[in-house]
Amino acid sequence: PAHIRGLSDLAFPDLPGRPHWRVRRNVVPSLLLEETEGSGDDMPLFNGTEACGTSPDTGPCFGMHERYFYNSSSMSCELFKYGGCLGNKNNFKTERECLQRCRTEAVCRLPMAAQPCAGQPAVWAFNATAGLCVPYQQGLCQRNGNKFYTKAECEEYCGVVKDEEFLMSI
């Protein structure tokens, strides 16, 4: 019989005692899933130039997992359906993780683009005109990468000077 290449061939090449042929199936060992997902907890932080610039990749499996990918054109994280295996590293379980790993300092210059929404936790955005991090009103969501989950995160990321006396002396 002809050899059918599959996911196990990629994950476990040339294992002794492994048959040279197998029936095609859509089952992926859990070990393979953990090693290839783009959002594992043990995943090292990577810079936004490599993985965050790639298009979302659903992978070859047939799951329907909601994940986030970084859209470098809009500088925001957007939802996509992930199949559950392989794909690429532009694949995050939460929007927060996506933003923290992929956004660049350019987001601090993005407008505060509020839209009505429900269910979003309190977030902060950087007001470039005022040079300050400001909270969003309840019921409004920030839809681009100028979105931070804490004031401290916003200030650290956008370089806010905390000492008001220093600002007055300039």
Show me where the domains of the chain are located. 105-170
pLDDT at 119 over 80: no
Model confidence band, residue 115 (pLDDT cutoffs 50, 70, 90) = confident
Rounded distance between C-alpha atoms, residue 77 and residue 136, angstroms? 18
> How large is the average pLDDT for residues 114-135?
86
**pLDDT on residue 16:** 53
Comparing CA positions, the residue from 132, 133, 131 lying closest to residue 123 is: 133
Asked whether 61 and 84 are in contact (CB, 8 A), the reply is yes
Asked whether 58 and 83 are in contact (CB, 8 A), the reply is yes
b/e sequence 72-108, b meaning 16+ C-beta within 10 Å: beebbbeebebbbbbbebbbbbebbbbbbbbbeeebb
**pLDDT on residue 131:** 92
Q: Can you give the pTM of this predicted structure?
A: 0.62
Among 58-62, 109-113, 160-164, the range of highest mean pLDDT: 58-62
What Cα–Cα distance (Å) separates residue 144 from each residue in 71, 82, 136, 151? 10, 22, 13, 17
**pLDDT on residue 49:** 55
Model confidence band, residue 57 (pLDDT cutoffs 50, 70, 90) = very high
> How large is the average pLDDT for residues 163-167?
51
Rounded distance between C-alpha atoms, residue 170 and residue 162, angstroms? 14
pLDDT at 70 over 90: yes
Asked whether 56 and 91 are in contact (CB, 8 A), the reply is yes
Q: What fold characterizes domain 105-170?
A: Factor Xa Inhibitor (4.10.410)
Widest CA span of the chain, in angstroms?
A: 81
